[in-house]
Amino acid sequence: MASNEEEEVHTFASLGVCEQLAEACDALGWKKPSAIQVQSIPLALEGRDLIGLAQTGSGKTAAFAIPILQALLEKPHPLFACVLSPTRELALQIAEQFEALGSGIGVKCAVVVGGIDMMAQAIALAKRPHVVVGTPGRLLDHLTNTKGFNLRMLKYLVLDEADRLLNMDFEQEIDEILKAIPRERKTYLFSATMTNKVAKLQRACLKNPAKVEVSSKYSTVDSLKQQYLFVPAKYKDCYLVYLLNELSGSTTMVFTRTCESTRRLSLILRNLGLDAIPISGQMSQPKRIGALNKFKAGERNILICTDVASRGLDIPSVDMVVNYDIPTNSKDYIHRVGRTARAGRSGLAVSLVTQYDVELYQRIEQLIGKKLPEFPSEQEEVLLLHERVNEAQRIATMKLREKEGNKKHNKKRGDGGDDDDDDDRRFTGSKNNKKLKRSKGR
């Protein structure tokens, strides 16, 4: 969270936050409001619509949750607020924050996201929660198909990560949802970036909004050390293992371009005795949550993910971000590296640049406006790992084929065969594990 002078002098109470909620913040260990909260909360409490430019990690969720909860306290009724989120994970985190802040006042939330049984969600909606958090597609599905559920009493609508909602082509669903809710309401629109589409959405659904902004558009924080590593494409896995080994013990997120790579890499790394776990859009929702929880709890220290996982996830202590694949969309670089060096901590981001990625990488340097230093490495030393990485790659390929075969077989038998993305350690029996471990850090 960026600190600025304003933050120093404010307390939640001085922003107009009522005692109960200020106490809830205190109980969460929040000593003072973050910059986005300082700016947003008083305006929201005045009854203004808000457009907020802020990224995950800025404290933006509480910036909209606190005013909503305060209004709910004054006039409690069911189906009071609805928050639209681009991803299931973010939706769950938003609901968690509402519940954490509202636990003392008995706030009920329901989460309606895809990939989870509609029926269970319909039952949760029938209990008439105060706050509904969901992804647009599934929410619309319930508005259309769940008997007795409507949002006609809604007082607050939040569009979170609006740029992302729009990039994911949720425009039509959002339009439909807007038709199903009262015009007389407050609307908060939060977005990491201000795009043309976001501006259009703002015009369509906000009334005379106050604009709040906390960080300049594409900046990365100073406590973040960014480096690149030039790697021949054929030795990319070897370099990844080298890097992880050099910084063993760090909590790391490794970003890949495809779901397939998350699985392949985590099999390779686990075979080499590293504690990796994949998370991607292809996994079932319970598996994604399970994987994330293992990572959060420290049972696994390397999370391999696609960009689906790169935003919205509240993982407070990532030491390092590795761009195994350079993102095709440069802005994703900012979101990815934003997973580390959060809340004033330091962090490291390393991008593996092959001979095919030079142009993409240069675009990123242009976007962030600086040339990054190289991560120091000796190719000879890296290639000492080559043989073992090769063997691990071979076993991973075999294992993936085996799984593919099993899945087909299960499908034929009608078992469905969910993706198994966190295998047990039967497979990880590399005898050479110890040799891989070196002293921590450099």
Residue from 21, 34, 91, 330 binding ligand AMP (CB under 6 A): 34
Contacts (CB under 6 A) with ligand AMP, residues 62-81:
62
Span near ligand AMP by CB under 6 A; candidates 28-36, 109-117, 135-143, 418-426: 28-36
Residue from 30, 218, 230, 427 binding ligand AMP (CB under 6 A): 30
Tokens 């080298």, residue located: 242
Q: Cα–Cα–Cα angle for 153, 156, 158, nearest 5°?
A: 135
Residue from 52, 57, 86, 338 binding ligand AMP (CB under 6 A): 57
60 makes contact with ligand AMP (CB under 6 A): yes
Residue from 61, 220, 261, 266 binding ligand AMP (CB under 6 A): 61
In 3D, which of 300, 340, 336, 324 has the Cα closest to residue 423?
Answer: 300
Residues in Cβ contact with 300 at an 8 Å cutoff, skipping those fewer than 6 apart: 275, 276, 277, 291, 294
Beta-bridged to residue 321, according to DSSP, are 253, 349
The alpha-carbon radius of gyration of the chain (Å, integer) is: 23
Question: At residue 143, what is the residue type?
Answer: L
- The answer to whether residues 136 and 174 touch, using CB atoms and an 8 Å cutoff, is yes
Residue from 15, 52, 59, 311 binding ligand AMP (CB under 6 A): 59
**What does the alpha-carbon distance between residue 19 and residue 40 come to, in Å, rounded to a whole number?**
18
Residue from 22, 33, 143, 279 binding ligand AMP (CB under 6 A): 33
Beta-bridged to residue 212, according to DSSP, are 52
193 makes contact with ligand AMP (CB under 6 A): no
Contacts (CB under 6 A) with ligand AMP, residues 379-408:
none
129 makes contact with ligand AMP (CB under 6 A): no
Span near ligand AMP by CB under 6 A; candidates 30-38, 251-259, 320-328, 432-440: 30-38
CA atoms within 13 A on the CB side of 279: 27
CB nearer to ligand AMP: give 61 or 252. 61
Length of the chain, please? 442
CB nearer to ligand AMP: give 89 or 307. 89
58 makes contact with ligand AMP (CB under 6 A): yes
In 3D, which of 290, 304, 289, 307 has the Cα closest to residue 251?
Answer: 304
- The answer to whether residues 83 and 138 touch, using CB atoms and an 8 Å cutoff, is no
Q: Show the site string, 303-332: x = touches ligand AMP by CB under 6 A, - = not.
A: -----------x-x----------------
Binding positions for ligand AMP, rule: CB under 6 A: 30, 33-34, 37, 56-62, 314, 316
